[in-house]
Chains A and B, each alone.
Chain A
Amino acid sequence: QSALSQPRSVSGSPGQSVTISCTGTSSDVGSYNYVSWYQQHPGKAPKLMIYDVSKRPSGVPDRFSGSKSGNTASLTISGLQAEDEADYYCCSYAGSYTFVFGTGTKVTVL
């Protein structure tokens, strides 16, 4: 199972929007609406931000949103804030009770 492909880095100024792509295959992202996104600050454990492609857990700001088209899922952060600077990972269900993570994207707030 190969890791899902994400851009190494994206950046934006405060208040702007950034979008992170997560490209998989027809065996994972393309087959299931079970894509989740995790935020990880340096030295910290990952935190769930989006699940089931576009659902937000309680407490996650609504400036975080998710979508999917074909084999590619996306995470959009609108109204970028300084505290959003972190690494972001997508994760997809891949069948037979297995999961695969993305390669990770560093978001920089300029």
Chain B
Amino acid sequence: QVQLVQSGSELKKPGASVKVSCKASGYTFTNYAMNWVRQAPGQGLEWMGWINTNTGNPTYAQGFTGRFVFSLDTSVNTAYLQITSLKAEDTAVYYCARVNIAAATTELDYWGQGTLVTVSS
């Protein structure tokens, strides 16, 4: 069955970096792009962007350029989100979610369980 399994919670100090992983199984990894979605405490969902798992080409939403980097390791069917120069306002749950690029669909049909990143001194 399809699964997206994310890495565990992280506690980081301001200015540090964090790398969140999202390991996919149960489907052909390169048929689905991987999206990243942020949810700050008590807030709504925010689309951060996505990465094409065929080409490795990322697309970043406004507000998520510069310190946010999407990457892949297709040998282990894993997508990564790296955030550098962390700020307190980066404290949030980060989700990965797939979309079927092979079929050119737009719905996020499977989601990871979420990774809580806490930034605090």
Contacts and interface: CB of A to CB of B under 8 A. Distances in A.
A51 B61 contact: no
B106 A3 contact: no
Given A3-B44, A45-B95, A89-B45, A99 B114 contact: no
Interface stretch (A17-25, A68-76, A100-108): A100-108
A46 to B, nearest CB: 6
Interface string A74-98: 0000000000000001010100011
Contacts, number: 62
Given A45-B113, A45-B114, A46-B111, A93 B106 contact: yes
Nearest to B108: A48
A101 B106 contact: no
Contacts of A47: 111
B105 interface: yes
Contacts of A40: 45
Contact of A46 (B46, B49, B95, B105): B95
A80 B22 CA distance: 34
5 closest residue pairs by CB, A with B: A51-B107, A104-B44, A34-B106, A45-B111, A36-B107
Interface of B: 35, 37, 44-47, 49-50, 59, 61-62, 95, 97, 105-109, 111-114
